[in-house]
């Protein structure tokens, strides 16, 4: 009788209890998770988009329709769906606008090819088709984008106002678009036009008043009061905060106290000798120093935010000093007028008529705190859009016009491709239509009828026809109607969405480590609970 082959021992690579999912079901599950996010975000798109009220664990409520902010506040934990959070944040950081559109387009790409995955089409073929179609779309945008002449300042400013206004169309402040568009364009034009560092635009939020009470504080030219910016603490520290000192006599202790007072007075006298009339410090300024400065008609403020101090230095000149000795004239800044003004229920210090006009501050007013925060987010998006328009100067029509043109262009190109790639290209073209379709749905329009009109228009060569949420026909030439967006918004959105869809399609297995999840989510278990649970599952230490 022939003896059988010996059994191969079972090799366990992963910790017991590790959750592994793989294959086609895992891929379809990831797609479903992404589509759930799209369902949440879809109603916020376009000029008639709705807002979301999101309440945190602490009961803090935020009202917003900004895609990146919503995804951040939702705290999504699904590993594949977090890819969408990343592309929304990247779009927000790079361009500032189009965060909802990029997520919806990525999700629609996955939705269009889900049936192909179910039928067994290789994800690699789909990814190849997506990358090809994405490149065709990017080339088409560069072909049709309109370059704006920057040589005429008035015409160029008009372009920037239209870009800012288009960005605000879907925001809470759409009713005050002309007012805020002018404010945003003025703020961006205050910056150094070479680097356009938007962090030099300060924002102060003051509750009370109406939106029209908001204002832009600009710096202009000339000099008078000298301004000294420090990173020095001007405060007597309590003994408990200092190092331990052992003394044998009261006179020794008094000598230590006198030395400490001598040090701070020496600092104060050195500051007075510089001639500065305004002293700002990132670190605290105590009561002694405040009174000493007040007696000598010097204004001082401690615990000034790093961003505020940086903007003051940028506007007034000088440099932040980390010592009070050897401060020369070139280390001090200047301004034409310095005043303390009551705005709402708080007092603010305004530096006006500064030598450098490379910084400014937006003072935002409004009734509710949540409202003011949403205004700030809306203005940030508009500032980023205007910044990109200044840097690049190329625009395309919004309102779904460019997406419909790309869809028609890719469909036409797909007819020249044989095999499965043709179907993938057509799916990509169909996915692009989600933007105009969702704009119609959110505005209460008949999306099927309007998309048919747009397809006919674009087939006839009307490149810039898009959705018109106000007109009777539902379609119009959005370039002529001044619904403009920087082409960079669309270039970045299509590239990011395509790469995100390819990344999700490339994942065929998820390995979830249970131990790492225990540390992340949920309240901590009481001491000993984990050990008891492990013993209950037969994973504890063996008994002696």
Q: What is the pLDDT of residue 421?
A: 92
pLDDT band at 534 (very low <50, low <70, confident <90, very high): very low
- Residues with Cβ within 8 Å of residue 439, at least 6 apart in sequence: 45, 46, 47, 48, 399, 400, 467, 469
Q: What is the pLDDT of residue 4?
A: 55
Structural contact between residues 316 and 304, judged by C-beta atoms closer than 8 angstroms: no
d(CA 515, CA 201): 44
Q: Is 381 a catalytic residue?
A: yes
Structural contact between residues 396 and 485, judged by C-beta atoms closer than 8 angstroms: yes
d(CA 106, CA 435): 11
Residue-averaged pLDDT of the chain:
81
**Distance, CA of 353 to chain centre:** 31
Query: Packing angle between helix 420-432 and helix 401-414, nearest 10 degrees?
Result: 170
Task: Considering the domain delimited by 153-219+359-392, tell me its CATH architecture.
Answer: 2-Layer Sandwich (3.30)
Catalytic residue among 44, 64, 83, 100: 100
pLDDT, tens digit, for every residue of 262-315?
888 888 888 888 888 888 888 888 888 889 989 988 888 888 888 888 888 877
Average pLDDT over residues 132-142: 94
Q: Is 446 a catalytic residue?
A: no
Structural contact between residues 205 and 376, judged by C-beta atoms closer than 8 angstroms: yes
Tokens of 114: 């889900």
d(CA 354, CA 351): 7
Catalytic residue among 44, 99, 359, 361: 99
Q: Give CATH for domain 226-352.
A: 3.50.7.10
CATH superfamily of 19-147+396-505: GroEL-like equatorial domain (1.10.560.10)
pLDDT at residue 537 is higher than 60: no
| Higher pLDDT, residue 293 or 238 | 293
Tokens of 462: 């009307």
pLDDT band at 238 (very low <50, low <70, confident <90, very high): low
Instruction: Enumerate the β-bridge partners of residue 339.
Output: 350
Q: Is 100 a catalytic residue?
A: yes
Structural contact between residues 133 and 429, judged by C-beta atoms closer than 8 angstroms: yes
pLDDT, tens digit, for every residue of 106-122?
999 999 999 998 898 89
Catalytic residue among 66, 92, 97, 405: 66
Catalytic residue among 92, 97, 381, 405: 381
- In percent, the amount of the chain with pLDDT more than 70 equals 86
d(CA 54, CA 73): 7
pLDDT band at 243 (very low <50, low <70, confident <90, very high): low
Q: Is 405 a catalytic residue?
A: no
HSE value, Cβ hemisphere, 13 Å, CA-based, for 325: 4
Q: What is the pLDDT of residue 524?
A: 45
Any idea where the domains of the chain sit in the sequence? 19-147+396-505, 153-219+359-392, 226-352
d(CA 373, CA 63): 9
């Amino acid at each position: 009788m022939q003896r059988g082959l010996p059994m191969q021992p079972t090799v366990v690579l992963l910790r017991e209890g590790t959750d592994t999912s793989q294959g086609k079901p895992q891929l379809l599950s990831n797609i479903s998770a992404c589509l759930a996010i799209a369902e949440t975000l879809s109603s916020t798109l376009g000029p008639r988009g709705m807002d979301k009220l999101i309440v945190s664990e602490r009961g803090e409520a935020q009202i917003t329709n900004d895609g990146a902010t919503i995804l951040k506040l939702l705290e999504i934990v699904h590993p594949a769906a977090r890819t969408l959070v990343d592309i929304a944040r990247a779009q927000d950081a790079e361009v500032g606008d189009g965060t909802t559109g990029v997520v919806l387009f990525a999700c629609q790409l996955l939705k269009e090819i889900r049936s192909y995955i179910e039928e067994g089409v290789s994800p690699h073929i789909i990814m190849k088709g997506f990358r090809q179609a994405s490149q065709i779309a990017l080339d088409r945008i560069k072909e049709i984008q309109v370059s704006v002449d920057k040589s005429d300042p008035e015409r160029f400013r008009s372009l920037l106002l239209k870009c800012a206004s288009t960005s605000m169309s879907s925001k809470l402040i759409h009713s005050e678009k002309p007012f805020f568009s002018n404010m945003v364009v003025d703020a961006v034009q205050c910056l150094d036009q070479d680097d356009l560092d938007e962090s030099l635009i300060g924002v102060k939020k003051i509750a009370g008043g109406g939106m029209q009470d908001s204002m832009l504080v600009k710096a202009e030219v000339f000099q008078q009061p000298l301004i000294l910016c420090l990173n020095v603490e001007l405060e007597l520290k309590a003994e408990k905060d200092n190092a331990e000192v052992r003394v044998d006599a009261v006179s020794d202790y008094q000598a230590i106290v006198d030395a400490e007072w001598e040090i701070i007075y020496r600092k104060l006298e050195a500051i007075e000798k510089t001639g500065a009339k305004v002293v700002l410090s990132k670190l605290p300024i105590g009561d002694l120093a405040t009174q000493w400065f007040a007696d000598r008609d010097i204004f001082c403020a401690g615990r000034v935010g790093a961003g505020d101090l940086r903007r003051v230095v940028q506007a007034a000149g000088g440099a932040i000093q980390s010592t009070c000795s050897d401060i020369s004239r070139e280390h001090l800044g200047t301004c034409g007028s310095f005043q303390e003004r009551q705005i709402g229920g708080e007092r603010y210090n305004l530096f006006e008529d500064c030598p450098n006009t490379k910084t400014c501050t937006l003072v935002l007013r409004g009734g509710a705190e949540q409202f003011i925060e949403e205004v700030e987010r809306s203005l940030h998006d508009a500032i980023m859009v205007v910044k990109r328009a200044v840097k690049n100067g190329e625009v395309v029509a919004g309102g779904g016009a460019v997406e419909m043109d790309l869809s028609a262009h890719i469909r036409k190109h797909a007819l020249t491709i044989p095999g499965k790639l043709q179907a993938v290209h057509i799916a990509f073209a169909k996915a692009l239509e989600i933007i105009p379709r969702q704009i119609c749905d959110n505005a209460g329009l008949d999306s099927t009828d309007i998309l048919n009109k747009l397809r006919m228009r674009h087939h006839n060569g009307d490149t810039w026809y898009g959705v018109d949420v106000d007109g009777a026909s539902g379609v119009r030439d959005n370039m002529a109607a001044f619904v403009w967006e920087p082409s960079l918004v669309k270039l970045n959105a299509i590239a990011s969405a395509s790469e995100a869809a390819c990344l999700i399609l490339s994942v065929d297995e998820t390995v979830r480590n249970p131990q790492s999840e225990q540390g992340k989510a949920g309240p901590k278990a009481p001491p000993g609970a984990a050990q008891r649970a492990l013993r209950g599952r037969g994973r504890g230490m063996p008994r002696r």
